Amino acid sequence: MPTAMIDVDQLGSGAHIRLGFNHVNMPGAGAHSSNAVLIGVGKYFDAPVARSIPGLVDDRIWLGVAAINGQTNHGDTERSFGGSAEIKKYDGPWAFSGSAIAEGDDDSRVDRRGLAAQAWYVQPLADKWSASAGFGPYVSSNKRDASDQTRLMALITMQVDRDLGKDWKAFASFSRVNTFREKNDRDLFRVGILRAFRG
């Protein structure tokens, strides 16, 4: 796949736009071949950072809430709506969080509630913006499971934060709940707000 990159330092040191072209040629009579143009925005994580993100350099604790729009990765399921509450602590480029999650009911396979802990890597993007990736265990029970057993799963999250002043952040995130042995994996889209308090 041929690609081209254009540096856009106005968005932050190491930021770039990536352009690509992809061609898929399927062999066989009647097989569908395809072309795709790909456009994305990226950032080199090893680029020098000329500023700090509020909240990453002090002893504050962040508390937040979010609305959830969930989709079970299985046919014949409905979107669900839920919510989460979170506590988060930053330590330089790292962060650690604990959260209570109610994924919502898809009217078929999943109505989960549980507790998650995640470790995060945080990277500045531009003025007042940062991105982070989190991973950790998620312990929950599924009301739509006949046994309603508590199970250990994994929670993987990609998140973008926007500073709204000294003590507030807004965020949007995409999480994947990985059940490992069941076919009830789920994608969670969250939008929420965080408020800082002295530790």
Check whether 43 has a pLDDT greater than 80: no
Q: What is the pTM of this model?
A: 0.72
Tell me the mean pLDDT in the region 121-144.
87
Who has greater pLDDT, 25 or 49?
25
Tell me the mean pLDDT in the region 86-111.
89
- Give the pLDDT of residue 106: 82
Tell me the mean pLDDT in the region 25-42.
75
Number of Cβ within a 10 Å radius of residue 36 = 10
- Give the pLDDT of residue 9: 67
- Give the pLDDT of residue 55: 46
Check whether 111 has a pLDDT greater than 60: yes
Check whether 63 has a pLDDT greater than 70: yes
Check whether 51 has a pLDDT greater than 50: no
Who has greater pLDDT, 24 or 56?
24
Of the candidates 197, 133, 185, which has an alpha carbon nearest to the alpha carbon of residue 154?
A: 185
Residue 122, burial from CB neighbour count under 10 angstroms (0-12, 13-18, 19+): buried
- Give the pLDDT of residue 12: 63
Residues 159 and 172: their CA atoms lie apart, in Å, by: 6
Tell me the mean pLDDT in the region 134-150.
85
Query: Which helix (H) or strand (E) element contains residue 4?
Result: strand 3-7
